[in-house]
Amino acid sequence: MNYLKSADPEIEKLIKQESIRQKEGLEMIPSENYVSPAVLQAMGSILTNKYSEGYPRKRYYGGNDNIDEIELLAQTRAKKLFNVAHVNVQPYSGSPANLAVYMATCSPGDPVMGLNLPDGGHLTHGWKVSFTGIYYKSHPYHVKKDGRVDFDEVWKLAKKYKPKLIWAGATAYVYQYEFDKFAEIADSIGAYFAADIAHTAGLVIAGAHIDPSKYAHIITTTTHKTLRGPRGGMIMVTKKGLKKDPELAQKIDRAVFPGLQGGPHDHTTAAIAVALKEAGKPSFKKYAKQIVKNSKALAKQLIKNGFRLVGSGSENHLCLIDLVPNFGPGGGFFLQYALDHAGITLNKNTIPREPASPFYPSGVRLGTPTLTTRGMKEKEMKKIADWIWQVAQIIANNSLPENKEKRIAYLKNFRRETNKNKELSKIKNQIKRFASSYPIFAW
């Protein structure tokens, strides 16, 4: 019985269309993934009916015996996988998780440090328009020309401003995070060191990325990126964190609830538990290692084709193409739009020392977690890199006008021309045939 179709045919149709898009296209946004049917089933379960403010065995409402067991299972699995002393699985997503870390460790106005947003950092690491940059005194650090964190600058800023909290982590960083270096700096000034591994959590537990558990005091993550779970978040306190502050676990828990959130999303907690169980299997390790192999293969072929990559490669799950040689400053939109039209989804992104703006950035960010979930390997990455290059050649003669009025008209025309471009339609058909032959639930 298709309940949705009879109750709400409009929504049912849109979901169907989206599932076709996800099947027929190549999803290369590095923060996305395809969850397993088991995770989906837990997400869509009757657990969504329940309220359970509080924590296991300490709830404000009755009827929570089953929910307690579910949350405890999620906690136990996370603690084991990430080798941490304490975990809170209730944050609604990555940003609320990070806010809870501020609330647990800082007072409003305290100095904090994180990677600058246009350099690949995250909004919640202190960017000026985020709550975290408005209510705390943010002193962002940057990357060098090669895209690597400038640790000389991190040392200098840390000594000068004595931040209470230092973040490591990013949304567009092609190297492994050097947690040991951050720890040395944070420890030298008595700061809390939080590792935000939202992008790389799956790689960390598979041994495909440096493990932060012995360096950081706090680890935050989303659960829906390389970890391949539902949209959610977790905050972990390491043994080192408890040594620095024996109250840290309670501070984090109090910050999540009642500090920032109400009732946890129990259907999400259950789906997180399922995803963590899947992530504990040897097949997941193989999967996560293949993500990195695929990203390296993709980077190699993109460079061979003629693209300029930030950092000249990839050490993790993503690549960042610097499109200044192709379209001049601010040209990320051109490639994102044309590829979307051809069936490859990625996102425009700032590059280090961005010459344009976060709204019209000069690069694109693309990654391999979803393609790897579908069973693709190095051979397929080569083919996809070739398509990306072909599309870039088709739209090669575009550049973003500086004048605002001219820019609007130019982009309107670009969209119109792209939509009717026959060469792009041909590539779209090839991609559709190719992508459709790889199942979404391949593992």
CB of 64 to ligand DSN, least distance (A): 31
Residues at the interface with ligand DSN (CB under 6 A): 31, 94, 122, 171
Catalytic residue among 71, 119, 196, 266: 196
238 is catalytic: no
In contact, 252 and 99? CB cutoff 8 Å: no
Which structure tokens are listed for 402?
């500086």
DSSP string, 352-385: TT-SS-SSS-SEEEEE-HHHHHTT--HHHHHHHH
CB of 413 to ligand DSN, least distance (A): 29
- In the complex with ligand DSN, which residue's Cβ is closer, 341 or 348? 348
> Which H helix or E strand runs over 46?
none
Task: Tell me phi and psi for residue 27, to 5 degrees.
Answer: -85, 115
Query: What are the angstrom distances between the C-alpha of 314 and each of 48, 160, 339?
Result: 39, 32, 21
Helices 378-394 and 422-436 pack at an angle, to 10 degrees, of 170
Catalytic residue among 53, 68, 110, 187: 53
Catalytic residue among 23, 50, 137, 231: 231
CB of 365 to ligand DSN, least distance (A): 8
Which structure tokens are listed for 417?
């021309």
- Show Cβ contacts of residue 324 under 8 Å, excluding neighbours closer than 6 positions: 308, 331, 351, 355, 362
51 is catalytic: yes
DSSP string, 131-184: HHHHSSEE--B-B-TTSSB-HHHHHHHHHHH--SEEEE--SS--SPP-HHHHHH
Distance CA 151, CA 142 (A): 9
228 is catalytic: no
Catalytic residue among 24, 50, 51, 251: 51
350 is catalytic: no
CB of 170 to ligand DSN, least distance (A): 8
- In the complex with ligand DSN, which residue's Cβ is closer, 171 or 200? 171
- Per-residue DSSP letter, 90: -
CB of 26 to ligand DSN, least distance (A): 17
CB of 262 to ligand DSN, least distance (A): 22
Which structure tokens are listed for 319?
């690549």
- In the complex with ligand DSN, which residue's Cβ is closer, 199 or 374? 199
Q: Is 121 annotated as a binding residue?
A: yes
Number of residues in the chain: 443
- Other CB atoms within a 10 A radius of the CB of residue 241 amount to 25
Q: Is 179 annotated as a binding residue?
A: no
The alpha carbon of residue 259 and the mean position of all alpha carbons in its chain are separated, in whole angstroms, by 25
Catalytic residue among 220, 222, 268, 345: 222
- In the complex with ligand DSN, which residue's Cβ is closer, 121 or 163? 121
- In the complex with ligand DSN, which residue's Cβ is closer, 128 or 160? 128
CB of 226 to ligand DSN, least distance (A): 11
In contact, 276 and 78? CB cutoff 8 Å: yes
8 is catalytic: no
- In the complex with ligand DSN, which residue's Cβ is closer, 314 or 421? 314
Cross-strand bridge partners of residue 113: 166
Q: Is 359 annotated as a binding residue?
A: yes
CA dihedral 120, 124, 127, 129 (to 10 degrees): 130
65 is catalytic: no
Q: Is 267 annotated as a binding residue?
A: no
Which structure tokens are listed for 99?
């806010």
Amino acid at 387: W
Question: Which segments are annotated as binding site for (6S)-5,6,7,8-tetrahydrofolate?
Answer: 117, 121-123, 357-359
Question: Which amino acids are annotated catalytic?
Answer: 51, 53, 196, 222, 225, 231
Question: Which segments are annotated as binding site?
Answer: 117, 121-123, 357-359
